[in-house]
């Protein structure tokens, strides 16, 4: 049962590769040089060459602020590219799992459920929402999984960013009026493989941390764990988002409710506190 992972260097792609290896599942993680989502011919050629039984799309233009000035690039990868991969997977008879984002939501309070209205506040969210629509149109049995705040011990994410900043300052201002549901990449990868190998679930599914938290609260928990392990840590100074202006507007509350996940996989969400402990343990062991 060959697995094609769209994306190679991202933290979720790495976690999927490791999880597939642990399960003895042949997996090919393709970076942009091997399969460019902005080039439909490249996508079709890669799928035809590997003839996968499962395709998991983790590849995306994820630079949220850069997307505001690079709208064409964001839509080429997140929308048109996602649709092209879905069409190729459908043509090959492959199971498709497409990873999307909480940023398809706009104003309002969480937890956000699969049937809630969507109205992205930024270009990145709009491109991912269009990607969801194109994937569903091209592959009627695709599973579209929205997640949020993915983190791990590697790559660029909130955990590694906080620890990096803590190496240079004693106090860090972190927004306290925006909520999310942090999601450990390793746990998400295992769940995605389980769902990918079950042909029954399709449509929209939320899979994120089981507990909502503000970014400042998340940072505080990170530094508490980092202190215990001798890792860089700092004081958290909660600030309103108005004091940290960014090019792309963020939703104040994009926490995801994983209610449907409970029916499919028997869990309400993914335990981000346990995932954070694993990530910090790995970072401490690597010092």
* 19-35 per-position pLDDT tens digit: 999 999 999 999 999 99
Q: How far is CA 98 from the centre of its chain?
A: 10
Q: What is the pLDDT of residue 262?
A: 87
**Number of domains composing the chain:** 1
User: How many Cα atoms within 13 Å fall on the side-chain side of residue 21?
Assistant: 9
Give domain status of residue 114, yes or no. Answer: yes
Tell me the two tokens of residue 183.
Answer: 């999601």
As a whole number of angstroms, the distance between CA 172 and CA 170 comes to 7
pLDDT at 104: 98
Is 202 known to be catalytic?
Answer: no
pLDDT at 126: 98
> For residue 243, is it within any domain?
no
What is the pLDDT, as a whole number, of residue 9?
93
Supply the pLDDT for residue 228.
98
Residue 157 forms part of a structural domain: no
- Which domain range does residue 8 map to? 3-151+183-212+256-272
Tokens of 85: 């991969």
Does a structural domain hold residue 175?
no
- Is residue 116 domain-resident? yes
| Residue 177 forms part of a structural domain | no
Q: Is residue 207 part of a domain?
A: yes
- Name the pTM for this structure: 0.96
pLDDT of residue 142: 98
Q: Which residue in the list 124, 151, 218, 223 is annotated as catalytic?
A: 124
Would you say residue 234 lies in a domain?
Answer: no
| CATH code at position 194 | 3.40.50.720
CB 30 within 8 A of CB 8: yes
b/e per residue 196-221 (b: at least 16 CB within 10 A): beeeebbebbbbbbbebbbbbbbbbb
pLDDT at 263: 86
Tell which residue, 193, 211, 209, has the closest CA to residue 15: 193
Residue 250: per-residue pLDDT: 96
Q: Which long-range contacts (CB under 8 A, 24 or more apart) does 70-73 make?
A: 71/123, 71/127, 73/38
The helix/strand/coil state of 205 is strand
Low-confidence ranges of the chain (pLDDT < 50): none
């Amino acid at each position: 049962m060959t697995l094609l992972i769209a994306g190679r260097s991202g933290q979720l792609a790495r976690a999927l590769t490791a999880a597939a290896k642990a399960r003895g599942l042949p997996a090919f993680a393709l970076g942009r040089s091997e399969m460019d989502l902005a080039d439909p011919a490249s996508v079709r050629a890669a799928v035809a060459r590997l003839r996968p039984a499962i395709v998991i799309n983790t590849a995306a233009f994820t630079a949220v602020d850069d997307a505001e000035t690079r709208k064409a690039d964001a839509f080429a990868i997140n929308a048109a590219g996602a649709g092209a991969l879905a069409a190729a997977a459908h043509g090959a008879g492959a199971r498709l799992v497409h990873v999307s984002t909480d940023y398809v939501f706009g104003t309002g309070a969480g937890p956000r459920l699969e049937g809630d209205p969507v109205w992205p506040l930024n270009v990145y969210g709009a491109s991912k929402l269009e990607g969801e629509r194109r994937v569903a149109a091209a592959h009627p049995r695709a599973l579209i999984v929205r997640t949020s705040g993915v983190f791990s011990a590697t790559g660029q994410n909130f955990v590694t960013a906080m620890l990096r900043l803590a190496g240079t300052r004693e106090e860090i201002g972190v927004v306290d009026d925006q909520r999310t549901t942090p999601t450990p990449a390793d746990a998400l990868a295992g769940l995605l493989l389980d769902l990918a190998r079950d042909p029954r679930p399709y449509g929209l599914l939320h899979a994120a941390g089981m507990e909502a938290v503000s970014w400042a609260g998340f940072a505080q928990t990170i530094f508490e764990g980092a202190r215990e392990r001798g890792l860089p840590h700092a004081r958290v100074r909660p600030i309103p988002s108005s004091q940290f202006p960014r090019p792309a507007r963020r939703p104040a509350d994009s926490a995801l409710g994983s209610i449907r996940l409970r029916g499919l996989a028997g869990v309400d969400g993914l335990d981000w506190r346990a995932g954070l402990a694993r990530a910090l343990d790995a970072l401490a062991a690597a010092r």
